[in-house]
């Protein structure tokens, strides 16, 4: 009963009014259904190119395995940004090509993420030296991270990412709900990768890496496209 009342309060504070329990249950079912549909789209879209269905997977695996050399890592970051832009613009999934352009995109993407990484690092360091309450900033940075990717894919100028638009996007109800969907999707993928790693001696984990790497930015871009 406590959970039920908490749910009513949560929805009421956000402007929802329910005359009976059935309407509340219907709303939650619709909410779950929407999240599942979004997750399904995020899992399918990166591999929807019929001419090169698994090309992005091969490139993604290679980029991760070669990431210690840094250049492939930047290329992968650039491709993830292109995925976001393609979803928002309603375009077909981009091919994993033009490595020079993707590399340059990845370098700029790193500049966009630099404040996020810095905040994470400082939060961890300060918590280790006796200020554990500051670890909360780590989770704040983790929460804001997807929004910076979306705004950069739209504006294409890292200087304009950290603006009032960032606050508006991260405080949006749909953004919060999508974050819940992303957590659910991540848990499912991590569970599957763990099982497959045990069964296939690690090969299954490598094969699932592209799905994990591409589905997250696609999920966020799809959310923005729906509610922009």
78-108 pLDDT, tens digit per residue, is 889 989 999 998 888 888 877 888 888 888 8
Residues 95 and 49: beta-carbon distance below 8 Å: yes
The three-state secondary structure class of 48 is coil
Q: What is the pTM of this model?
A: 0.76
115 exposed, middle or buried (CB, 10 Å; 0-12, 13-18, 19+)? Answer: middle
Q: Is the pLDDT score of 7 beyond 70?
A: no
Q: What is the Cα–Cα distance from 39 to 27, expressed in whole angstroms? A: 18
Joined together, the tokens standing for residue 6 give 């908490």
Q: What is the mean pLDDT of residues 162-182?
A: 87
Distance between CA atoms of residues 149 and 146, nearest Å: 5
**Average confidence (pLDDT) over 40-62:** 73
For residue 5, the tally of other CB atoms under 10 A from its CB is 9
62 band by pLDDT with thresholds 50, 70 and 90: confident
pLDDT bin (cut points 50, 70, 90) of residue 208 is confident
């Amino acid at each position: 009963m406590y959970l039920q009342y908490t749910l009513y309060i949560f929805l009421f504070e956000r402007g929802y009014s329910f005359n009976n329990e059935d309407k509340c249950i219907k709303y939650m079912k619709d909410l779950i259904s929407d999240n599942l549909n979004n997750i399904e789209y995020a899992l399918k879209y990166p591999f929807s190119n019929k001419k090169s269905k698994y090309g992005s997977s091969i490139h993604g695996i290679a980029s991760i395995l070669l990431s210690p050399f840094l250049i492939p890592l930047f290329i992968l970051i650039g491709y993830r940004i292109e995925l976001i832009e393609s979803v928002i613009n309603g375009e077909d999934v981009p091919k994993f090509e033009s490595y020079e352009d993707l590399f340059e995109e990845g370098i700029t993407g790193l500049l966009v993420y630099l404040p996020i990484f810095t905040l994470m690092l400082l939060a961890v360091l300060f918590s280790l030296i006796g200020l554990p309450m500051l670890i909360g900033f780590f989770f704040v940075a983790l929460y804001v991270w997807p929004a910076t990717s979306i705004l950069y894919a739209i504006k294409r100028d890292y200087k304009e990412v950290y603006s009032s638009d960032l606050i508006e996007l991260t405080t949006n109800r749909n953004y919060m709900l999508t974050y819940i969907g992303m957590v659910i999707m991540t848990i499912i993928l991590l569970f599957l990768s763990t099982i497959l790693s045990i069964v296939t001696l690690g090969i299954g984990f490598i094969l699932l890496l592209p799905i994990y790497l591409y589905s997250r930015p696609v999920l966020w871009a799809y959310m923005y496209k729906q509610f922009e």
